[in-house]
């Protein structure tokens, strides 16, 4: 989006992409997610089965989605050799999540999840696969290669770098089942479900074609709700300590589906694991209030210290360094990128009058703030 297009969108209240909105985030919004980053950093040391939930709430347009993107940037930058993984799902685009949240998170994770930690070798293998099979997410491939190969204790035989006939054979279900299944059965003789899950994942990773992806998704669906616990078991066996589940535009139905994930599998089940789970949830204030009214859900998801940094509307006060100054700075930055946009001649008195007007504005929104600042600075 060009500077001119972004100014026009802000002026008229048209939505902008999450990535574009990142350019507009206030320092307060950037800080809102810091407690969750601190928690993930603290949990990465060991898998102990801990649970934590963090909320980002506010009215539409207050920067929730952009805040989550900033959070993901922070997750990628966490230092250390310990490994964690995360997945980001927009609930408003996945309404079927509902009561089967664990299943649908698992259906997304192998294809959109991201691993953070010392996985350089797996990432290089993923790049090679991506070049051969085209348009396959490198991050998700690298995560799968690292987790499954370490859980199995053997490398995945990729269907690349060989002649066509051998490539087809290596990528076949038969080869993967014979080679990888044997290794997994040696490690998990009493957990056939986890073995089945990992073998299908390995088959997809060896040759990430649409057909293998469909077979893997069928496998996940066949395991139903327990599929999430199988996923966590493989991640834990692969050396991961923490899984971060990020749900944007979530609500009460999704939280009901997350409840079994929070509680975890019963001790003694084949899918038991000690993976730490961190849920980061973005939604309007009204949705969180509904969750708070549900005693069972509130006890699990609403009682973390520092776990609810709400994103309120813009703050305009008599002093400086407030959200009005932030808006002036961002609009002037955009104007500097396109000399063809006509600018008004604005005096300090003009700015002061706008400040006084907005400071007394009831329930000021970011849409109103951006429009008023642009109307003052832009001619036409």
Per-residue pLDDT 10s for the chain (380 aa) are 899 999 999 898 887 776 677 778 777 777 788 889 999 999 988 888 899 999 988 877 777 877 888 899 889 988 777 899 999 988 765 555 556 888 999 999 999 999 998 898 899 888 988 887 876 789 999 999 999 999 888 777 654 443 333 334 344 455 555 667 888 888 888 889 999 999 999 889 888 889 999 999 999 999 998 999 999 999 999 999 999 999 988 888 888 888 888 988 765 555 667 899 999 999 888 888 999 999 999 988 987 766 776 677 788 887 667 889 999 999 999 999 999 999 999 999 999 999 999 998 888 888 899 999 999 999 97
CA separation, residue 318 to residues 276, 347, 360 (Å): 45, 17, 10
CB distance 212 to 200 below 8 Å: no
Alpha-carbon torsion, ordered 220, 222, 224, 227, to 10 deg: -40
Using the CB atoms, write b or e for 46-79: b if 16+ within 10 Å: ebeebbbbbbbbbbebbbbbbbbbbbbebbeeee
d(CA 165, CA 162): 8
Nearest-10 crossing angle of helices 227-237, 138-152 = 70
In the DSSP assignment, the letter for residue 119 is -
What is the three-class DSSP state of 129? helix
CB contact burial 234-265 (16+ within 10 A = b; e otherwise): bbbbbbbbbbbbbbbbbbbbbbbbbbbbbebb
pTM to 2 decimal places: 0.83
6 neighbors 335 (Cβ within 8 angstroms): no
Backbone dihedral region for residue 315 (phi beyond 0: left; psi -120 to 50: alpha; all else: beta): beta
Spatial CB neighbours of 231, under 8 Å, sequence gap ≥ 6? 106, 109, 110, 197
How crowded is residue 140: how many other Cβ atoms within 10 Å of its Cβ?
A: 22
What strands lie across the sheet with 51-57, from one edge to the other?
51-57, 276-283, 240-248, 83-90, 114-116
Say if residues 72 and 116 touch (Cβ distance below 8 Å): no
Domain ranges of the chain: 1-15+313-380, 33-301
């Amino acid at each position: 989006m060009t500077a001119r297009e972004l100014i026009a969108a802000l002026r008229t209240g048209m939505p902008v992409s999450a990535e574009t909105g990142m350019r507009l985030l206030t320092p307060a919004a950037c800080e809102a997610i810091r407690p969750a980053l601190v928690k993930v950093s603290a949990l990465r040391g060991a898998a102990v089965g801990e649970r934590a939930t963090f909320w980002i709430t506010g009215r539409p347009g207050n920067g929730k989605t952009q805040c989550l993107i900033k959070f993901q940037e922070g997750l990628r930058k966490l230092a250390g050799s310990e490994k964690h993984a995360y997945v980001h799902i927009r609930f408003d685009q996945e309404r079927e999540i509902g009561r089967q949240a664990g299943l649908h998170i698992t259906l997304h994770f192998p294809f959109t999840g991201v691993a953070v930690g010392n996985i350089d070798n797996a990432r290089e293998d993923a790049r090679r696969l991506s070049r051969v099979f085209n348009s396959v997410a490198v991050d998700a491939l690298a995560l799968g290669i690292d987790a499954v190969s370490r859980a199995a204790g053997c490398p995945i035989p990729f269907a690349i770098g060989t002649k066509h006939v051998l490539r087809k054979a290596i990528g076949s279900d038969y080869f993967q089942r014979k080679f990888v299944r044997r290794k997994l059965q040696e490690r998990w003789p009493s957990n056939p479900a986890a073995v089945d899950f990992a073998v299908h994942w390995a088959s997809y990773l060896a040759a990430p074609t649409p057909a293998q992806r469909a077979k893997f998704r069928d496998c996940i669906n066949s395991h139903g709700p327990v599929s999430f616990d199988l996923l966590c078991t493989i991640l834990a066996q692969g050396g991961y300590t923490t899984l971060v589940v990020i749900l944007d535009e979530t609500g009460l139905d999704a939280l009901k589906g997350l409840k079994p994930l929070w509680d975890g599998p019963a001790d003694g089940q084949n899918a038991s694991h000690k993976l730490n789970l961190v849920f980061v949830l973005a939604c309007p204030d009204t949705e969180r209030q509904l969750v708070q009214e549900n005693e069972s859900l509130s006890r699990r998801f609403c009682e973390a210290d520092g776990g609810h940094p709400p994103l309120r509307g813009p703050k305009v006060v008599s002093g400086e360094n407030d959200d009005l100054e932030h808006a002036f700075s961002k609009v002037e930055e955009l104007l500097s990128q396109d000399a063809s946009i006509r600018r008004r001649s604005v005096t300090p008195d003009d700015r002061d009058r706008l400040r006084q007007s907005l400071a007394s504005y009831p329930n000021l929104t970011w849409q109103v703030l951006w429009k008023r600042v642009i109307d003052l600075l832009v001619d036409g």
